[in-house]
Amino acid sequence: MATPISYHFTFILLIITEGVLGATFTFTNKCDFTVWPGILASAGSDKLDSTGFELPKGSSRVFQAPTGWSGRFWGRTGCSFDGSGRGSCSTGDCGSGELECNGAGAVPPATLAEFTLGSGSQDFYDVSLVDGYNLPMIVEGSGGSGACASTGCVTDLNRRCPAELKVDGACKSACDAFGSPEYCCNGAYGSPSTCKPSMYSQLFKSACPKSYSYAYDDASSTFTCIGADYTITFCASLTSSLKSSRDSGSGSGSDSGSNPIGSSLLADLASGDSTKTQPSISIALQITLANHAPNGPVTTSSRERNLHTTERRQGGGSHEES
């Protein structure tokens, strides 16, 4: 009679252990330079073992997160820290003045990976360009059940960034660049029916079709998995992705040849010659998007939001605004 009780106890212990562990996050740097990841836990979630660390090229680091954890990850670039860990970064800086972010989020623009673990038995995750872009990033799940699709952006959007959004080493969102409610999806534009994709978010979406391009981009940008571990990779397949983009003249999610005006524009942007395309960027994208926008042509007064869906899901999202 002792054996069944022992098995029963072991089974219960296994369930408890799995519930406590939640998921393993592995950060991998495939860039040709050092990346300094930042970690921000949402309100009510425990901090992980670090809130910011150095990740040399070719290296990986593993973290454990409990069930119910939610938060965001991003990569910082161009950082300089002294022996005591004090310093700053060119992009993705968290403003703490230290290697550790200590509860501070990324200063836009920054590519974000967002997670909520074990919400209704499922994990929810996404890669977001709502706060702009600074690094290629993908998220891949392993060992889980369900759809568990990979997501992210491997395209170098810094090479495609319109001049009005471009900053050193990164590409702003239109909300961050211009600040008006139409781009930021707030105020009178704070709902899916009033805030529509802008020409800028469409540019992001064409290059990175699985990533959030604006605040209400939920349908094609949120992913789920059950009981998985996750790898967050910086600069995954960047070389092949850029070669493909240069050869085809389109983004990684575009149908080659289906959108000649947009493809030509993206090809010029991908080549880095933003001055060549700048005078016609608004006209070209408005003509291109006129056939696709739900309510007709997207105009230059359309704005995207520098806030994310989890702000609209208070208590259930992975976004903690700092």
pLDDT in tens, 121-132: 899 999 999 999
What six digits make up the tokens of 294?
A: 């739900």
Answer whether residue 18 shows pLDDT above 90.
Answer: no
Query: Is 275 among the domain residues?
Result: yes
Which residue segment(s) compose the domain that 186 sits in?
2-312
pLDDT in tens, 20-41: 568 999 999 999 999 999 999 9
Query: Is 322 among the domain residues?
Result: no
CB environment 64-83: b (16+ within 10 A), e (fewer): ebebebbbbbbbbbbbebee
Answer whether residue 1 shows pLDDT above 70.
Answer: no
Helices marked H in the chain — which ranges?
2-21, 174-178, 181-184, 199-207, 238-248, 260-270, 274-277, 281-290, 309-312
pLDDT in tens, 169-226: 999 999 999 999 999 999 999 999 999 999 999 999 999 999 999 999 999 999 999 9
- The angle at the Cα of 30, spanning 118 to 254, to the nearest 5 degrees, equals 75
Alpha-carbon dihedral angle through residues 310, 315, 319, 322, given to the nearest 10 degrees: 120
What six digits make up the tokens of 145?
A: 């059940």
How many structural domains are present in the chain? 1
Which of 236, 173, 209 lies closest to 35, judged by CA? Answer: 236
Per cent of the chain over pLDDT 90 is: 65
What six digits make up the tokens of 170?
A: 């990164």
Query: Is 320 among the domain residues?
Result: no
Query: Is 319 among the domain residues?
Result: no
pLDDT in tens, 146-168: 999 999 999 999 999 999 999 99
| pLDDT at position 206 | 96
| pLDDT at position 94 | 97
| pLDDT at position 209 | 97
Query: Is 280 among the domain residues?
Result: yes
| pLDDT at position 203 | 95
| pLDDT at position 51 | 98
Output the CA–CA distances (angstroms, integers) from residue 134 to 70, 81, 89, 93, in the order listed.
22, 20, 12, 11
Count CB atoms within 10 A of the CB of residue 37: 26
| pLDDT at position 247 | 36
Which strands sit side by side in the sheet containing 23-29, from one edge to the other? Answer: 60-65, 23-29, 229-234, 137-142, 151-153
Query: Is 78 among the domain residues?
Result: yes
Answer whether residue 244 shows pLDDT above 80.
Answer: no
Query: Is 60 among the domain residues?
Result: yes
Query: Is 318 among the domain residues?
Result: no
Answer whether residue 283 shows pLDDT above 90.
Answer: no
- CATH number, domain of 245, equals 2.60.110.10
